[in-house]
Amino acid sequence: MATSNEKRFAGELSEELRALHSTAPDRLFRAGDVIFSAGDPGDGFYVVESGQVQISAVVGNNESRVLASIGPGDFFGEMAVLDDAPRSATARAEIDTKAFFLGRDQLLGLLERRPQLALDLIREFSARMRALNNKYVGEIIQAERLAIVGRFAGTIVHDFKNPLTVIGLAAELACSDFTTPPMRHKAQNKIALQVERMTNMLQELIEFTKPSGQRPVLRAVNFARYMNPLAEEIRQEIAERGVALVLDTPPPELDVRIQPQRVSRLFHNLLNNAVDEMSDGGKIFLRFVVSPAELQVEVEDTGRGIAPEIAQSLFQPFTTHGKAHGTGLGLTICKKIVEDHGGRIWARNEPGKGATFCFTLPLAAGQP
């Protein structure tokens, strides 16, 4: 729709237009007629006397977007006329329309005689560009929000697949008439453990999307007593996918300062990412190296290694390569968990081997 400024400018043109009317008569367009197309020569300038004209252009992935709707007293086609370039948009009559056509030479002559009109025209260009920018910035932001929602939904579905499979199998076992009480109790524990894991996943996503800037509350935990049952849990889970977990070095008997649930999420992410890269099976090696201030954990797999295309953006949100599922958010969450613990995380390719991911965790005070 035309703004008050646009109508005012068209009104200032009306006196000159009446004087030129005899040399440039009105043009009539039926509803749906193309007045000009993108790429056509910019040979003239139009003022709508009655009807409605739609201005559209192809943007993005060959998608046509409506830029403006031009009504009586408004004008269009001026940009190509002034910069002597091809049309950048397409004009189409929405309904039966009558428009006054002013040729390029006539318009330039008019602006020479009326310098104030040239200034007003520049102001209108600026107003139109601002309005267009605001419109498309808003659309881009909305589209990106929707895309992020979709990516998060994909991440949740992908990450919930393994625990839901375990829950399904354990529930089937627990409900069987042939299951012994100890087996039923074990199945119940498995279900409870996976539900807790899924709850932690959701909490991690919430924390990722709504960063609070607060440091987590860490506590001293004996790493060996924490790591051994976690490794056994993950070993059983990935064995069903043909992957073996090998502890090259035993978890050290020392205290680390961690949030156990979040570090469990870190291990699950890293090891399941490695499993995803070994569709035909393989091995994952865990190693632990102690230094005076921190514990370094290494996770090495026998997969194909890190693709060069994503090596530099590995820990950035939504970086992924060659996966049918997932969006690449897992490693970003890993990075956040490690950094919230005051540690570092990095990755490398080993010649003749797969990928190796390394991260550090702080030792509790008083360690030898």
Higher pLDDT, 181 or 297: 297
**Model confidence at 153: pLDDT above 70:** no
Confidence at residue 326, expressed as pLDDT on a 0 to 100 scale: 46
- Tell me the mean pLDDT in the region 42-66: 81
> Residue 351's Cα: distance from chain center in Å?
33
Confidence at residue 253, expressed as pLDDT on a 0 to 100 scale: 95
Q: Among the listed ranges 3-7, 42-46, 143-147, which one has the minimum average pLDDT value?
A: 3-7
HEC readout, the chain: CCCHHHHHHHHHHHHHHHHHCCCCCEEEECCCCEEECCCCCCCEEEEEEECCEEEEEEECCCEEEEEEEECCCCEECHHHHHHCCCCCCEEEECCCEEEEEEEHHHHHHHHHHCHHHHHHHHHHHHHHHHHHHHHHHHHHHHHHHHHHHHHHHHHHHHHHHHHHHHHHHHHHHHHCCCCCHHHHHHHHHHHHHHHHHHHHHHHHHHHHHCCCCCCCCCEEEEHHHHHHHHHHHHHHHHHCCCEEEEECCCCCCCEEEECHHHHHHHHHHHHHHHHHCCCCCEEEEEEEEECCCEEEEEEEECCCCCCHHHHHHCCCCCCCCCCCCCCCHHHHHHHHHHHHCCCCEEEEECCCCCEEEEEEEEECCCCC
8: confidence class by pLDDT, cuts 50, 70, 90: very low
Q: Among the listed ranges 29-38, 167-176, 179-188, 206-215, which one has the minimum average pLDDT value?
A: 206-215
127: confidence class by pLDDT, cuts 50, 70, 90: confident
**Model confidence at 229: pLDDT above 90:** yes
- Tell me the mean pLDDT in the region 13-37: 73
**Model confidence at 356: pLDDT above 50:** yes
Confidence at residue 360, expressed as pLDDT on a 0 to 100 scale: 96
Confidence at residue 170, expressed as pLDDT on a 0 to 100 scale: 87
- Assigned token pair, 63: 């998608």
Q: Which tens digit of pLDDT belongs to each residue from 258-274?
A: 999 889 989 998 998 88
Confidence at residue 301, expressed as pLDDT on a 0 to 100 scale: 93
Q: Which tens digit of pLDDT belongs to each residue from 76-95?
A: 887 776 677 788 889 999 99
For the chain, give the mean pLDDT.
79
**Model confidence at 340: pLDDT above 80:** yes
Confidence at residue 199, expressed as pLDDT on a 0 to 100 scale: 76
Contact between 153 and 205 (Cβ < 8 Å): no
**Model confidence at 210: pLDDT above 60:** no
**Model confidence at 15: pLDDT above 60:** no
209: confidence class by pLDDT, cuts 50, 70, 90: low
Q: Among the listed ranges 27-41, 196-210, 286-300, which one has the minimum average pLDDT value?
A: 196-210
**Model confidence at 220: pLDDT above 80:** yes
Percentage of the residues of the chain whose pLDDT score is greater than 90: 28
Q: Which tens digit of pLDDT belongs to each residue from 292-326?
A: 899 999 999 998 888 777 667 777 776 555 554 44
